[in-house]
């Protein structure tokens, strides 16, 4: 069985560790097969150099978590065709973690629901980021925008996706490991900043429910995490200014970076934003890649 496992944008500015959305035009492919031999074997990895041992690859760790619960009378082999660069900030590790559990669940006749799959995939994600967070996994599994209400017990809310939303992603070719980008964050935050942040999360959720693009734009701001992490991302303030000047609803760090996302209403606006950002970044000496993607409301899917 062949799977498309999508890239995702976690945090969505104000929702550190809770909000995320799913992308349509970037993702990994994975092939999963049943085997007579029990256990999980990763037999092929193309695209990037990643460990083949199941216990060291997020796809293997999440699959083993599912196997422990399902105790099937067979094993599985996994091929990973990676398009999402590890450490890029668009959920590379979570695409693998989600792909293996989704594929195995399909082959077993779907014994588990989406929330249970999210739980298994979180075990894999924890290997990469050294903490259990589901803000990439949930949108990859559920599609569209998601909010992780709590991790223990796990509760995921699927939020509505207003029409005609596009994301422009710029990926400066430097690697920022999620675990490192987490280690620079403060353990406590100022009350005034907390008030601003939870007001933004609440209004962003309301904007998604009411397709209020103006409110969505005014809510896409992060006063808690971005001030620390933006120092790791070259030209972040210029990028943001250029995206907003060219009509983006908002612009922020994608996941833990270094990718930066701009959320746009309409493909034409997204193209303008992409053009402006490209012109700006071309003047630097940092290589980069860019993507323009519709928000993917379907999530992970079988493609063959």
Ligand X SMILES: N[C@@H](CCOP(=O)(O)O)C(=O)O
Ligand Y SMILES: Nc1ncnc2c1ncn2[C@@H]1O[C@H](COP(=O)(O)OP(=O)(O)O)[C@@H](O)[C@H]1O
Residue 136 or 217 with smaller CB distance to ligand X? 136
Active-site residue, from 146, 178, 226, 269 = 178
| Coil vs helix vs strand at 106 | helix
Strands (E) in the chain, as ranges, are 2-10, 19-35, 39-46, 75-81, 145-150, 155-159, 165-172, 250-253, 260-265, 288-294, 301-302
Partner in contact with 160, chosen from ligand Y, ligand X, none, beta carbon below 5 to 8 Å by kind: none
Structure-token match 């978590």, residue found = 65
Is 128 a binder of ligand Y (CB under 6 A)?
yes
Concerning whether 125 is annotated as a catalytic residue, the answer is yes
- Asked, as a colleague might, if the bond just before 176 is cis with ω within 30 of 0, I would say no
Residue 95 or 208 with smaller CB distance to ligand Y? 95
- Do the Cβ atoms of 61 and 54 come closer than 8 Å? yes
Per CB under 6 A, contacts with ligand Y among 29-88 are 50, 57-59, 80, 86-88
Q: What is the CA radius of gyration of the chain?
A: 19
Footprint of ligand X on this chain (CB under 6 A)?
A: 10-11, 16-17, 89-91, 93, 129, 133, 135-136, 178, 181-182, 255-256
Kindly give the pairing relationship between strand 165-172 and strand 260-265: antiparallel
Least CB distance to ligand X at residue 292 (A)? 18
Residue 27 or 89 with smaller CB distance to ligand Y? 89
Residue 84 or 201 with smaller CB distance to ligand Y? 84
Concerning whether 68 is annotated as a catalytic residue, the answer is no
Least CB distance to ligand X at residue 275 (A)? 25
Least CB distance to ligand Y at residue 104 (A)? 15
Cα angle vertex 194, ends 193, 195, to 5°? 90
């Amino acid at each position: 069985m062949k799977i498309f496992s999508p890239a995702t944008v976690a945090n969505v500015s104000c929702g550190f560790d809770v909000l995320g959305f799913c992308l349509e035009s970037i993702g990994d492919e994975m092939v999963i097969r049943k085997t007579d031999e029990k256990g999980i074997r990763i037999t092929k990895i193309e695209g990037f150099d990643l460990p083949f041992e199941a216990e060291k690859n997020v796809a293997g760790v999440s699959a083993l978590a599912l196997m422990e619960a399902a105790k099937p009378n067979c094993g599985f082999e996994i091929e990973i065709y990676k398009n999402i660069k590890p450490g890029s900030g668009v959920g590379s590790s979570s695409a693998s973690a989600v792909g293996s559990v989704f594929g195995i669940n399909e082959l077993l006749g779907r014994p588990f629901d989406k929330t249970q799959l999210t739980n298994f995939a979180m075990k894999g994600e924890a290997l990469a980021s050294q903490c259990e967070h589901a803000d990439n996994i949930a949108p990859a599994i559920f599609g569209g925008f998601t909010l992780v209400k709590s991790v223990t017990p796990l509760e995921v809310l699927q939020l509505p996706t207003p029409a005609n939303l596009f994301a422009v992603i710029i990926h400066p070719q430097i690697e920022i490991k999620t675990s490192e980008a987490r280690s620079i964050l403060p353990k406590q935050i100022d009350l005034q900043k907390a008030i601003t942040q939870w007001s933004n999360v609440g209004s962003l959720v309301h904007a998604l429910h009411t397709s209020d693009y103006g409110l969505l734009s005014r809510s896409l701001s992060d006063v808690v995490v971005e001030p620390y992490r933006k120092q790791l991302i070259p030209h972040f303030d210029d990028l943001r200014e250029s995206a907003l000047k060219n009509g983006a609803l908002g612009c922020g760090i994608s996941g833990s970076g270094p990718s930066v996302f701009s959320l746009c209403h309409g493909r034409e606006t997204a193209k303008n934003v992409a053009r402006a950002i490209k012109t700006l970044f071309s003047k630097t000496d940092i290589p980069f890649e860019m993507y323009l993607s519709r928000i993917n409301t379907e999530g992970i899917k079988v493609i063959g």
